[in-house]
């Protein structure tokens, strides 16, 4: 399927929207989502076609998942965001706090095509993309400095990497992933997780809160990190020598979710936007331009592209996190992380 055909299919599938017309203030959708390369992909692969098909304007507010959920909490009595694109962990917390609305199957007609891994309880939101949390490293720097490719998180504690590692803060999903990767490499306990992260933290020059560490790599400040597969592939497309590694003990599947905010000012348009994200053409373009694995059964990817994304088959081999348990303990972990890891 060519990108031209994919775009055509996406437009055709959006006929449920109103015919194109000059946008008014009542037709302005506010979407809060990921920043950096992710925002670039959305502005290229999703927003123009949706705006054209629905005769609306979309305002995109960039931020990490935890930042977005914080905004939803602050605006609970008077929501200003219509659609929230957030990781599965913060999404579970937002759903529990009743910040999100159920999807309407009469509008989000594509729910029946969504793979089991991306369906959420009560259809409070839906997964629209799959990736993985693992390791990222600068292959050229590693080769020039005689280091073998990392296979596990503890490899980032090598003395040659002193001051060359950027670790995600536990305030974002990748930071939780780092803690869990360390735990899995140890005896599976949180204690072993903190012990493992602290060893790597000795090599860290900063702890990133944005979930986008591309500039650290591009500027040569970082040569290794815990990061997402889709973001690594996007940076690699810029002719940067970066590689994603699925750790020996397994990467962590990461589900990007699309959610209609409870009490959203433009709830009907928000439901249509979520449906648009599940169209096979847009699912293909999100994979082709941003390396997000598709979540619908009828999306078709070229073989070479499929190798660079997390397919539902690959996700099935990875152990997901128990976000209900993680979220219940996250405040305590964050306090401990601040005192012991980012000291």
User: Which one-letter DSSP state was computed for residue 59?
Assistant: E
The list of the chain residues with pLDDT below 70 reads 1-26
CA quadruple 173, 177, 178, 179: dihedral positive or negative?
Answer: positive
- Give the integer Cα–Cα distance in Å for 92 and 86: 10
| pLDDT at 30 (0 to 100) | 98
Kind of pairing, strands 204-208 and 165-168? parallel
Q: What pTM did the predictor assign?
A: 0.84
CATH of domain 132-251+319-340: 3.40.190.10
- Give the integer Cα–Cα distance in Å for 310 and 312: 7
| pLDDT at 26 (0 to 100) | 58
Architecture of 3-130+253-313 per CATH?
3-Layer(aba) Sandwich (3.40)
List, by residue range, all CATH 3.40.190.10 domains of the chain.
Answer: 3-130+253-313, 132-251+319-340
| pLDDT at 4 (0 to 100) | 39
Q: At which residue do the structure tokens 């990736």 appear?
A: 131
Burial group, residue 123, by CB count within 10 angstroms (0-12, 13-18, 19+): middle
Give the model confidence (pLDDT) of 223-278 as tens digits: 999 999 999 999 999 999 999 999 999 999 999 999 999 999 999 999 999 999 99
| pLDDT at 313 (0 to 100) | 84
| pLDDT at 15 (0 to 100) | 43
């Amino acid at each position: 399927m060519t990108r031209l055909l994919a775009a055509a299919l996406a437009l055709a599938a959006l006929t449920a929207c109103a015919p194109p017309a000059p946008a008014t203030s009542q037709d302005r959708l506010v979407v809060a989502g990921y920043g950096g390369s992710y925002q670039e992909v959305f502005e290229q692969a999703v927003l123009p076609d949706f705006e054209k098909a629905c005769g609306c304007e979309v305002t995109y507010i960039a931020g990490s998942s935890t930042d977005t959920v914080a905004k939803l909490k602050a605006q609970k009595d008077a929501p200003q965001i219509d659609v929230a694109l957030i990781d599965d962990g913060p999404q579970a917390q937002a759903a529990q706090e009743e910040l999100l609305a159920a999807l309407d199957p009469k509008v989000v007609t594509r729910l029946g095509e969504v793979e089991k891994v991306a369906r959420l309880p009560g259809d409070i939101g839906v997964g629209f993309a799959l990736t993985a949390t693992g390791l990222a490293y600068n292959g050229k720097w590693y080769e020039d400095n005689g280091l073998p490719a990392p296979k596990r998180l503890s490899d980032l504690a090598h003395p040659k990497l002193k001051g060359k590692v950027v670790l995600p803060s536990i305030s974002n999903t990748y930071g939780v992933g780092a803690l869990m990767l360390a735990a899995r490499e140890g005896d599976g306990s949180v204690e072993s997780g903190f012990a493992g992260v602290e060893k790597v933290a000795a090599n860290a020059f900063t702890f990133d809160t944005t979930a986008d560490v591309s500039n650290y790599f591009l500027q040569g400040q970082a040569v290794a990190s815990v990061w997402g597969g889709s973001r690594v592939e996007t940076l690699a497309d810029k002719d940067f020598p970066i590689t994603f590694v699925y750790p020996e003990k397994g990467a962590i599947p990461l589900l990007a979710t699309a959610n209609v905010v409870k009490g959203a000012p433009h709830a009907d348009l928000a439901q249509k936007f979520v449906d648009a994200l599940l169209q096979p053409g847009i699912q293909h373009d999100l994979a082709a331009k941003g390396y997000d694995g598709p979540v619908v059964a009828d999306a078709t990817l070229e073989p070479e592209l499929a190798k660079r994304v997390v397919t539902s088959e690959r996700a099935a081999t990875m152990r997901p996190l128990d976000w209900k348990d993680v979220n219940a303990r996250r405040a305590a972990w964050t306090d401990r992380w601040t005192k012991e890891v980012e000291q």
